[in-house]
Each structure stands twice: as C-alpha cells, then as structure tokens.
C-alpha cells in the first residue's frame, strides 16, 4: 500500500491451490484407491478387494478429466501431478451408490511429455474444444 490515503498498488499471491471434486457411481476399487491416495487392490475372476489403512505416503498420480457439454463441446482438465484426499464415505441404501473423488493438484515442473512448465503453468491446464 502506498500514498495518502493508503491504497493498494500491487497484490501478490502467497498461496495457490487447485482441487477437482466429482462423484463416481461405479464400484471400481482401483479408482477408489487412487482417490484415497493409498491402498492395495487385488482382482480375481470372482472378486475385487481394496484394503486400506496405515500408509503414511500419499500416491501421486496424473489426472485427466474429460467432460462433454450439452452443446457438444469438450472440456479437458489436466492435473500434471495429483493426490487423492484420503477420504471415503459409502452410503448403503436404495439409491445409486455414489463415491466422492477429490484430487488436489501438486506443483509439477514438466508436463506429461516431459516439456518444461513455466512457473505460471505448474498446477493444471483446462482446454475447451469447441464443436
């Protein structure tokens, strides 16, 4: 701030974050483990298993979310590096099962092709493809 009366001359960001939250409706245990950021999944012809708990390390994943709009456009969200939130709430009842997926973007220095990201592009990218 400067002047008399004091006015804001310049503002600086001291913190940035990005989060993608969505709901799945499929019993896909490997995707649930991704959203939790940990866990061990096994699959056989007869069953899928997710076991979770006690792992202090949160797995980092790359994330691409694709949405088709009613107007026919495509929106793509890229998190170069993402971590799940470690939370899961499953409600059993008569309604469709919904699974919350929440991912936090983490700073990356390269994109998925290995190209360097400038300091202004290190959390995420959103593309809208017009039809």
pLDDT digits (tens, 9 = 90+) for 43-100: 899 999 999 888 888 889 999 999 999 999 999 999 999 998 877 777 777 677 788 8
- Cis previous bond, 123, omega within 30: no
Global confidence as pTM = 0.78
**Degrees, nearest 5: CA angle 118-124-130:** 110
């Amino acid at each position: 701030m400067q002047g008399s009366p004091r006015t804001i001359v310049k503002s600086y960001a001291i913190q940035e974050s990005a989060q993608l939250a969505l709901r799945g409706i499929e019993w896909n245990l490997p995707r649930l483990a991704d959203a939790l950021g940990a866990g061990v999944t096994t699959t056989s012809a007869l069953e899928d298993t997710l076991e979770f708990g006690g792992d202090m390390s949160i797995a980092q994943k790359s994330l691409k979310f694709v949405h088709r709009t009613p107007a026919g456009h495509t929106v793509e969200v890229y998190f170069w590096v993402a971590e799940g939130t470690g939370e899961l709430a499953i409600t059993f009842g008569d309604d469709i099962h919904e699974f919350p997926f929440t991912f936090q973007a983490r700073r990356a220095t390269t994109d998925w092709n290995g190209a360097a990201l400038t300091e202004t592009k290190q959390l995420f990218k959103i593309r809208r493809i017009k039809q």
